[in-house]
Amino acid sequence: MLAGPTIVFAEDDRRVRESVQRGLRLEGYDVVAVADGQQAVDTVMRQEPSLVVLDVMMPVLDGLTACRQLRTLFPALPILMLTARHEVSDRIAGLDAGADDYLVKPFALGELSARVRALLRRSISGADHQLRVGDLTLDPDARHASRAGRDLVLTKTEFDLLELLMFNAGVVLSRDTLYDQIWGIDFDTGSRALDVHITYLRHKTEAGGLPRVVETVRGVGYVIRR
């Protein structure tokens, strides 16, 4: 599998660091794990990743200070903060330091993954460039999609599904992930909404006898291959 977006993950707890790194890599991300804030800043300077995840309490350079430095150097870089503190004031401090989102420990890997995907999708839209996979083209800002030069007339949900699948091209997205990202974590995943919209999306992207692009991975979910 081709490596996906690069994530720098800074966490001084080795077990948490290795567990999250392993989990995110299984989802197709290229994860560089480091043990303190200074290592995070140095790594970002060298690699310019797609996203950074920073724990607040770290040695050498704490997460808030690292966040401020990175925000000055890379204004558009998505940053997610992690902390064991639940106080609102701590969350405010993280956001004021320049973080885009905040997650309180302990957290489920699924929630971290969902927030990562949301931040990456937001940064892609803000970057004002198109997604291209084969003969599929999608412009997140203009909300326009086409295949083989033919415009696709998509509903909002169909467009959002296609955008998510194209952004994660080559990565199999589970049904739960698709429900979380498109309909929200409280949506009834036992419904047939996903299957219905995938059917409509396939009908429109395969019009005129074009080959299938949205593939089913049985027992898991869906993927658009690179």
Separation CA 84–CA 120 (nearest Å): 24
With pLDDT > 70 as the criterion, what percentage of the chain qualifies? 91
pLDDT tens digits, 136-179: 999 887 889 999 999 999 999 999 999 989 988 888 888 888 88
Q: Please state whether beta strands 136-139 and 144-147 pair in parallel, antiparallel, or not at all (unpaired).
A: antiparallel
- The sign of the torsion formed by the CA atoms of 8, 88, 122, 27 equals positive
Contacts of 219 (CB under 8 A, 6+ apart): none
- Categorize the per-residue pLDDT at 55 as very low, low, confident or very high, splitting at 50, 70 and 90: very high
Per DSSP, 186 falls in state T
pLDDT at 42: 97
- Categorize the per-residue pLDDT at 186 as very low, low, confident or very high, splitting at 50, 70 and 90: low
Contacts of 177 (CB under 8 A, 6+ apart): 110, 113, 114, 117, 221
Q: Per-residue pLDDT for 54 more than 80?
A: yes
pLDDT at 27: 81
Q: Per-residue pLDDT for 209 more than 80?
A: yes
Q: Please state whether beta strands 214-217 and 221-224 pair in parallel, antiparallel, or not at all (unpaired).
A: antiparallel
Nearest alpha carbon to residue 213 among 140, 161, 175: 161
- Categorize the per-residue pLDDT at 115 as very low, low, confident or very high, splitting at 50, 70 and 90: confident
List, in sequence order, the alpha helices (H) in 27-143: 37-47, 63-73, 88-96, 109-126
How many C-beta neighbours within 10 Å does residue 66 have?
Answer: 27
Separation CA 17–CA 184 (nearest Å): 27
pLDDT tens digits, 76-101: 899 999 987 766 677 777 788 899 88
Q: For residues 17 and 26, which has the higher predicted lDDT (pLDDT)?
A: 17
pLDDT at 65: 95
Helix (H, G, I), strand (E, B) or coil at 222: strand
* Contact (CB, 8 A) for 174 and 135: no
Separation CA 143–CA 214 (nearest Å): 19
pLDDT mean over 68-82: 92
pLDDT tens digits, 119-139: 887 766 555 467 889 999 998
